[in-house]
Amino acid sequence: MFCISGNSDVCSENLCFCDFRQCLPDGGEKMMDCDIFTVIIKQNHFSPLSLSLSVHPAGQNPDHMLHGTGHKHESRKQGDDTTVAPEDAARFLSCYCSGYCPEDHKNNTCETNGQCFAIIEEDENGEAILTSGCMKYEGSHFQCKDSPRAQTRRTIECCGTDFCNRDLQPTLPPPMDTGEWQTERQQYHRDLEQDEAFIPVGESLKDLINQCQSSGSGSGLPLLVQRTIAKQIQMVRQIGKGRYGEVWLGRWRGEKVAVKVFFTREEASWFRETEIYQTVLMRHENILGFIAADIKGTGAFTQLFLITDYHENGSLYDYLRFTTLDTQSLLRLAYSAACGLCHLHTEIYGTQGKPAIAHRDLKSKNILMKKNGTCCIADLGLAVKFNSDTNEVDVPLSTRVGTRRYMAPEVLAETLNKNHFQAYIMADIYSYGLVIWEISRRCITGGIVEDHQLPYYEMVPSDPSFEDMLEVVCVKGLRPTVSNRWNGDECLRTMLKLMSECWAHNPASRLTILRVKKTLAKMVESQDIKM
């Protein structure tokens, strides 16, 4: 173990405490304002702390820091994988909160050992949105020195007295010239730096990942290798866009890869997805293959990259819009999606074990089509982890929520027990049932097939509100409608029974994904389908 660009205080074989100097631009290209902080690095891989502090470039606004405690906590003890705030950070401020309030807030008030803040940012519709709240002490020195973000149209201001952020009035920076942003984005192929891993010519991504898997770590490529790959990526063209950012087709030594570029405001999602993908024993043929993650920072803006396998057929949603299915194709898709979800949900015990994981945003747009007619689950930015040894439900700190159309009744009604991991698992099952409905509609029987539609398409608007979905799903108890032809086909009839047991109103009445997988496995075997 060693500390890259840091001074090692204590090092052992698997653990290293490092002092790092974080430098932020201060008025000029060579003028730097520096702070010292301590991080912990484990086995030269990303860990929640080392990633969130040691590799943050200047000028970022990680949303996972923009949350106060809501109430006063005892000081953290050394050794719990956190930095320890100095004594002067033990004081607590009361701040006004709007948009970043803790769940137990009263009268739009939160408390923090850090600073009060106000943020103005431009939403997807170009409207200026002002939010405010409490920022934790850790990282607040960096975040409050942030420069206005021209690319994401976002500005943050901080202050240090009670309710002082009521008077803060941050202003949006002028928009960045489109040509400038495009040029910066396409020049992601950066000059190689000294902290670069040597990757022999001729080594493919598959070779690197297989070597890593056989080495026994099971948690993905080493951090240094990931950063080296990320630096060498050549951006080709944009192939998708969503609320989190953009997806680009990239190339690494001629191999196609997908590069997910997150908006700065979505850092919490980037951080969580990176963390989940690098969970030990996470790799599975029906989970999107993770390659690398990196942060690129310049004086003007910051980019958050997640590099994965590239699937040219796009999402299941895109595929179903233009492709009809036969019975074998239907079962291949339903079964492979169930296998991926089952791997997520399953805890693997042992010293190199894997926690149980719930997706929380399962939908056809977050499932990708593979060339062999199977699919893989993607977008893990909202995932929840559970480790039975500690009995802890690890929920990401993010303001983002799932997709309303696919939300389970208990999520819409806000009755889901957030401290009970099984509740998240059962909500995933409901969403899976809706995905199976989408797939089944596209299966031809007797020369008849329905157009692809989203669940509840005829019951709610194209962009339904919580109230729309609550009325349909919970108050009226409705579920997606099916054609009479389904009852005349054995496969569709079985699929209808399966999805009905997945989207039951009572979570306890829903099937487990293992039960779904076993049922579909029998159907696949009876049809002699090759997976």
Q: Which of 409, 413, 415 is closest to 434 using CA atoms?
A: 409
How many other β-carbons are positioned within 10 Å of the β-carbon of residue 252? Answer: 21
Rounded CA separation 118/342 (Å): 41
Would you say 418 and 395 are in contact if contact means Cβ atoms under 8 Å apart? yes
Q: Do the bridges between strand 356-358 and strand 384-387 make them parallel or antiparallel, or are there none, so unpaired?
A: antiparallel
Q: Is 531 exposed, middle or buried (0-12, 13-18, 19+ CB in 10 A)?
A: middle
Rounded CA separation 459/462 (Å): 10
Looking at residue 98, the DSSP 8-state letter turns out to be B
Chain centre distance of CA 121: 21
Element spanning 93, H or E: strand 93-96
Chain centre distance of CA 484: 39
Would you say 315 and 367 are in contact if contact means Cβ atoms under 8 Å apart? yes
Rounded CA separation 1/16 (Å): 7
Would you say 302 and 487 are in contact if contact means Cβ atoms under 8 Å apart? no
DSSP per-residue codes, 234-278 = EEEEEEEE-SSEEEEEEEETTEEEEEEEE-GGGHHHHHHHHHHHT
Chain centre distance of CA 468: 26
Catalytic member of 63, 294, 361, 489: 361
260 marked as part of a ligand binding site:
yes
At 285, list the tokens. Answer: 């043929």
The answer to whether 361 is a known catalytic residue is: yes
Binding positions are 260
Binding positions for ATP are 260
Catalytic annotation, residues = 361
